[in-house]
Structure 1
Amino acid sequence: MIKPLYLQTNDLDIYSFHVKSTVSSRYAVTVITSRVANRAEEPREVDFHVELPKNAFISKFNMTIGGKAYSGVVKKKEEAEKQYSEAVSRGQSAGLVSAVGRTLEEFKTSVTVAAHSKVTFELTYEELLKRRLGKYKLLIKAKPTQVVKDFKIDVEIFERQGIRFLETQGGLASNDLASAVITNLTDKEALVHFSPSVEQQQCPSCGDKGLSGELLVVYDVNRPTSQGVLQVVNGYFVHYFAPSGLSRIPKNVVFIIDHSGSMSGTKMRQTREAMLKILDDLHEEDHFGLISFDDRVTPWEDNLVPVNSDYLALARTFVQNINSRGRETDVNEIQKNVREAIRKRYTLYCLGFGYDVDYKFLNRMSLENDGLARRIYEDSDAALQLQGFYEEVATPLLLDVQMNYTGAANVTHTSFGQYYDGSELVVAGQINHNDLETFTAEIKAKTFVSPPLLSSLCVCVYVAGCRVLLPEEQQMAVREQVLALSLKHNFVTPLTSMVVTKPEGERAQVANKPRKGNNQHLHPRGLQLLPELENV
């Protein structure tokens, strides 16, 4: 997502703004190029401000002034911090990358441009598109704050499996702007071109501030085989596994709802609203239960019950009567109790409301029990966020998925507790000696049998806790691996920073990647302080 902003003055002219996103095998590389002219009789400071997805990482940044390029260099965070501190001691400021909402981080920098001179900014970021509910989504948000003479967004998609469907959505693809979007789709390639005229950028609600909106490209690929698709390039492989046509597995699901004091007010109301909608989505072959807790545990029924009209009516009454009260504070005791209760028999999903939730604790509990955590943002659509997450994990198709490879090394995670309808499992690795003759892939999993094989799903709507999953010595080893990869391939992670070397006399710039979902801990001068990895 991109939102370029510039100092508002008639003397600064954004005469060209291009976004080019190239997607190949679900991997997107996006390049933002913005050209600005200072038409004033004196030097002016020009700001460059973009927003990018939180799951993306910056891999390149260049500024070109007077024909000379100044590039960002990725360094160890400690080295970047030292350079920043030296700049601060001279009264200089710094650039930053910080969180700005649910899905975005923002990158800022600035430079002084001489009279009647120009500057070109070029930022590259990369991301792996994740399949959810049967779709991949690439979102670009543009808000130039002025009309741009040369304004275009180009998206190129290539998928070897073939593109099953493609749609364009968002404000930049609707109403009077629909004619500015041109889409060409062939079997394996798609091109989306957005180029609004000056007149289209001067809509009644835009005025002289130009367009402000989103271009969302949504697509999926063909899946001709149930074994998935293996792609091999330069001695490495990626295995995409998303079989279709499988029978849905009936499940046991227990909804565990925190109603301690931290859930008071809007959080509790939205949780009740979401739970009532989720109850309507349960399948009749499922079994379910409800538990509320604070410093005490209150089960709705002692056992799981079938999904039928009578039990659903009773469950709705129970949910409507849940109110916030009490406390729960001992995160170590909570984690111990959860571990002993689950004993690797079930999957735990933790949902946390708001920025004040201890997200690392929820993440650790989920990972320890083969699940994942998701932050729910306290907006008007929080109930829909809860319901949407449930929909992602509501339809298990496979259990205990094991993806085994011979003749391979440095393979990523290969064991998955479940495969859900509309999702995708992705494994990557290196082929030994680039020898395809000895390289094989094997998939083992459990599917629907009769009598039904019941999967177990535990959804926890929760606010609390802290820590990470790995022991400290393993955390250090993983950090060193992440750091080495970051420096080798020149991209920004929570362990590295991008240092932007600027013209002599200009202030230093240090860009860091912030902690996930946290926009609080900013240095008074704007630098994101050293964050830790979320899951390491």
Structure 2
Amino acid sequence: MERSVVQITLFGLLLSLASTLPNKDDWDIYSFHINSTVTSRYATTVITSRVANRMNESKEIEFHVRIPKNAFISKFRMFIDGQVYDGVVKAKEQAQQQYSEAVSRGESAGLVSSVGRTLEEFKTSVTVAAHKKVTFELTYEELMKRTRGKYELQIHARPMQPVSDFKVDVHIQEEAGFSFIDVKGGLSTKALANAITKTHTDKEAWVYFYPTVDQQKMCDSCSDQGMNGDLVIIYDVNRDNGLGHIKKSDRYFVHHFAPSDLPRVPKNVVFVIDQSGSMSGRKILQTRTALIHILNDLAEDDHFGLITFDGNILHWKRELVQANSKNLESAKNFASNIQARGSTDINEAVLQGARMLNDHSREGSASILILLTDGDPTSGVTNLENIQSNVRQAIAGKFPLYCLGFGFDVDFKFLEKMSLQNNGVARRIYEDSDADLQLKGFYEEVATPLLTDVTMIYVGGTNLTQTNFSQYYNGSEIVVAGEITDNNIETFTPQVVAISSNRRIIFSKSNKTVESTGTVSDDRIQRVWAYLTVKQLLDKELQLSGPEKEKVKKEALELSLKYSFVTPLTSMVVTKPPGENTDVLHKPKEGETPQRWQPRVDHSFSRQYLAPSSRRSSGGVIHDNPVWRPLSRQLNHHSHLASDVMGKQSIGRYGGYSLSGISNTRTRAVQGMM
């Protein structure tokens, strides 16, 4: 009964404050342009929004966009009444004081926050005088990642109202030439087909998306609030079986290595599947479905094993077996009968999987260990550092460990560190209706090893990014960047040494596959090197501790500041006209719990959680993690409240955004205020 009272009271309070939130009809986005240029598979995207205040009084105007999670914001500026206001990237600790001061005044502070699988959200706002205009300009950069034989450039279009001058321009330059290029996504539907123009030559491609105002209202993902969807440009480049493509300037190089037409390497794969009680329901059903699909895709020269675990470890077979029809049928029967129950002994389960692979090493094969779990260890060894140490000793660098974290109860940072320590990666599996397809999709990325023990060698190169890779998979790509020693291109000699099946193979210089550029592209190639270096340093920092960790962290921070990247170590201070609230822009880590706003002594709900329009900044926090999300937008009359207001589930949607459950501490604060 008490819970119901809280729900009704909360809902009534939100509705009573609806009129205080800004009405977007008061301002007009008259121009919205997205311009993306991709060179050497490095994308620089600029979003420009021009907005006019049509009212006879000052109005707060919001800039609100979504960008890819892998991107780094590198520039933000506002043009107001002839003045330019630039965002400044600072060390997070330095920017923190401004953030804390804003929060202590009851203001929301601007954040980049995580919104789903592939996107992050950037919001800020500024007060614009009557009949004046403001231009927002945001730049972000990302290195395109090749997955399953293609690159995907994702552009999210969500201007929040139909726009008379709406344009998306994409220009891709690729010296290797295109093997294919296509346009997908929710904005490529039939209703918008004639708004998309795609042209390309051998080495350049252009995609234009110019929807009319009517089209922006009538397409599948459109409404009176305009478009809200993705345009995804999918492409791949021409390849051969040689050294790959190398872009060089006088000072830097970037090497894309993805040989084709190599024989597949037989693999040994062990699946370690969590069947603890928290996997019950849809999770375990989807896991069964995915496993059966994956087993169907194994080749006959592959060997495999299945381990399920809760508080106990259950082997389908004690040893790896060949993927023949008889064994596969038995394994699928085993998979279809996995039941969720018990606690979670991650340590022993992963060690058993490592033992199976260690006991079954085959010359000329590639071994892979895949863990799927949805929770923290609750039985056996439960100390996370001890588990990581045990696993690292058991694997001893002999094969990669891939950790799939199902949902948001899992300690993703623990899985990420354990994967990185063992030459693998961690991936979150989202609790959606297609979770089985997500699992199968990840497996397809590692399903076909082509090379093992890959070593990238660069005579005449220095300050190199990662050069050793345990395995190279079909459809992926290895990217290495570095500086050219003494700016001497003539002495620069690349080479790749790897194992194909059970023979050593060398990829050396071939004029056909190596391309060179002049100094005009030096800045672009240098930024590719900086982007890749920062990404890899952040991964390395996660694995280390003590002085080594601080050294790597310092190096990543210095590069982030030098190249103005908003990374987990830096923040951008969004400067505004005098008298405006300062926004501080952070980049979240996957699954990171955002900084929580501490309630003020007077527990002023409207100032602390729903900042009124006269004081608020539109940087309300929206995160994947279940936390309170302050409302800084117009309430949607289609809003609804779910039943579990005090739980972790989404309890309401306002204007397309979720209002999440409140933590226990926050719950008590809210109840006290009511």
TM (norm. structure 2) is 0.73
Give the stretch that moved more between structures: 316-325 or 11-20: 316-325
- Aligned partner letter, 1:515: K
- The 2-side partners of 1:207 and 1:416 are apart by 47
- Aligned partner letter, 2:315: P
Aligned to 2:492: 439
Give the stretch that moved more between structures: 33-42 or 212-221: 212-221
- The 2-side partners of 1:286 and 1:352 are apart by 25
User: What is the CA distance between 1:383 and its match in structure 2?
Assistant: 0.7
- Aligned partner letter, 1:351: L
User: What is the CA distance between 1:160 and its match in structure 2?
Assistant: 1.4
Residue 198 of structure 1: which of 184, 208, 213 is its match? 213
Residue 169 of structure 2: which of 154, 165, 174 is its match? 154
- Aligned partner letter, 2:458: Y
For the structure 1 residues 74 and 150, does the alpha-carbon distance in structure 2 shift closer, same or farther, using more than 3 Å as the test?
A: same
1:69 matched to 2:84? The reply is: yes
For the structure 1 residues 216 and 8, does the alpha-carbon distance in structure 2 shift closer, same or farther, using more than 3 Å as the test?
A: farther
Give the stretch that moved more between structures: 511-520 or 168-177: 511-520
For the structure 1 residues 332 and 247, does the alpha-carbon distance in structure 2 shift closer, same or farther, using more than 3 Å as the test?
A: same
SS in 1 for 2:160: coil
1:425 matched to 2:441? The reply is: no
- Aligned partner letter, 1:311: N
Query: Unpaired runs of 5+ in structure 2?
Result: 1-20, 346-376, 504-540, 599-607, 609-618, 623-674
For the structure 1 residues 310 and 275, does the alpha-carbon distance in structure 2 shift closer, same or farther, using more than 3 Å as the test?
A: same
- The 1-side partners of 2:56 and 2:585 are apart by 31
SS in 1 for 2:29: strand
Give deviations 1:340-366, integer Å, cap 9, x for gaps.
432332221111111221112212222
1:84 matched to 2:95? The reply is: no
Aligned to 2:70: 55
SS in 1 for 2:246: strand
Aligned to 2:513: none
Aligned to 2:180: 165
Give the stretch that moved more between structures: 149-158 or 468-477: 468-477
Residue 273 of structure 1: which of 286, 289, 293 is its match? 289
Give the stretch that moved more between structures: 8-17 or 394-403: 8-17
For the structure 1 residues 347 and 84, does the alpha-carbon distance in structure 2 shift closer, same or farther, using more than 3 Å as the test?
A: closer
Give the stretch that moved more between structures: 156-165 or 8-17: 8-17
- The 2-side partners of 1:75 and 1:496 are apart by 6
- The 2-side partners of 1:93 and 1:173 are apart by 36
Contact (CA 8 Å) 2:299, 2:323: kept in 1 or not? yes
- The 2-side partners of 1:265 and 1:273 are apart by 13
Contact (CA 8 Å) 1:514, 1:528: kept in 2 or not? no
Give deviations 1:292-344, integer Å, cap 9, x for gaps.
12232211112111112211111112112222222233134433442343233
- Aligned partner letter, 2:205: A
Contact (CA 8 Å) 1:100, 1:519: kept in 2 or not? no
- Aligned partner letter, 2:74: S
Taking the TM superposition and a 5 Å limit, the aligned residue runs for 1:476-487 are: 476-487=550-561
SS in 2 for 1:356: coil
1:262 matched to 2:264? The reply is: no
For the structure 1 residues 432 and 121, does the alpha-carbon distance in structure 2 shift closer, same or farther, using more than 3 Å as the test?
A: same
Superposition RMSD in Å: 2.0
For the structure 1 residues 247 and 16, does the alpha-carbon distance in structure 2 shift closer, same or farther, using more than 3 Å as the test?
A: same
1:97 matched to 2:112? The reply is: yes
Query: Unpaired runs of 5+ in structure 1?
Result: 1-5, 451-466, 530-536
Contact (CA 8 Å) 1:92, 1:508: kept in 2 or not? no
Aligned to 1:501: 575
Aligned length: 508
SS in 1 for 2:96: helix
Give deviations 1:455-513, integer Å, cap 9, x for gaps.
xxxxxxxxxxxx94223221101110111111111121111110011111111111011
Give the stretch that moved more between structures: 415-424 or 348-357: 348-357
Contact (CA 8 Å) 1:513, 1:528: kept in 2 or not? no
Aligned to 1:415: 468
Residue 256 of structure 2: which of 220, 234, 240 is its match? 240
Taking the TM superposition and a 5 Å limit, the aligned residue runs for 1:450-489 are: 468-489=542-563
SS in 2 for 1:479: helix
- Aligned partner letter, 2:494: A
Aligned to 1:464: none
- The 2-side partners of 1:334 and 1:85 are apart by 36
Residue 409 of structure 2: which of 325, 350, 356 is its match? 356
Aligned to 1:221: 237
Structure with more helix by fraction: 2
1:34 matched to 2:87? The reply is: no
1:341 matched to 2:394? The reply is: yes
Contact (CA 8 Å) 2:250, 2:484: kept in 1 or not? no
User: What is the CA distance between 1:91 and its match in structure 2?
Assistant: 4.1
- Aligned partner letter, 1:251: K
Taking the TM superposition and a 5 Å limit, the aligned residue runs for 1:381-392 are: 381-392=434-445
Contact (CA 8 Å) 1:74, 1:497: kept in 2 or not? yes
Give the stretch that moved more between structures: 166-175 or 416-425: 166-175
SS in 1 for 2:98: helix
- The 1-side partners of 2:385 and 2:485 are apart by 43
1:372 matched to 2:425? The reply is: yes
- The 2-side partners of 1:14 and 1:527 are apart by 21
For the structure 1 residues 336 and 508, does the alpha-carbon distance in structure 2 shift closer, same or farther, using more than 3 Å as the test?
A: closer
1:301 matched to 2:301? The reply is: no
For the structure 1 residues 407 and 285, does the alpha-carbon distance in structure 2 shift closer, same or farther, using more than 3 Å as the test?
A: same
- The 2-side partners of 1:365 and 1:137 are apart by 28
- Aligned partner letter, 1:258: D
Residue 451 of structure 2: which of 386, 392, 398 is its match? 398
Residue 301 of structure 2: which of 285, 309, 320 is its match? 285
Contact (CA 8 Å) 2:272, 2:307: kept in 1 or not? yes
Give the stretch that moved more between structures: 310-319 or 414-423: 310-319
Residue 230 of structure 1: which of 246, 251, 255 is its match? 246
Give deviations 1:200-236, integer Å, cap 9, x for gaps.
2231764432223221100011124511111112411
- Aligned partner letter, 1:409: T
Give the stretch that moved more between structures: 55-64 or 322-331: 322-331
- The 1-side partners of 2:286 and 2:22 are apart by 39
User: What is the CA distance between 1:449 and its match in structure 2?
Assistant: 4.2
Give the stretch that moved more between structures: 332-341 or 113-122: 332-341
Contact (CA 8 Å) 1:512, 1:528: kept in 2 or not? no
SS in 2 for 1:10: helix
SS in 1 for 2:163: coil
For the structure 1 residues 371 and 505, does the alpha-carbon distance in structure 2 shift closer, same or farther, using more than 3 Å as the test?
A: same
Aligned to 2:564: 490
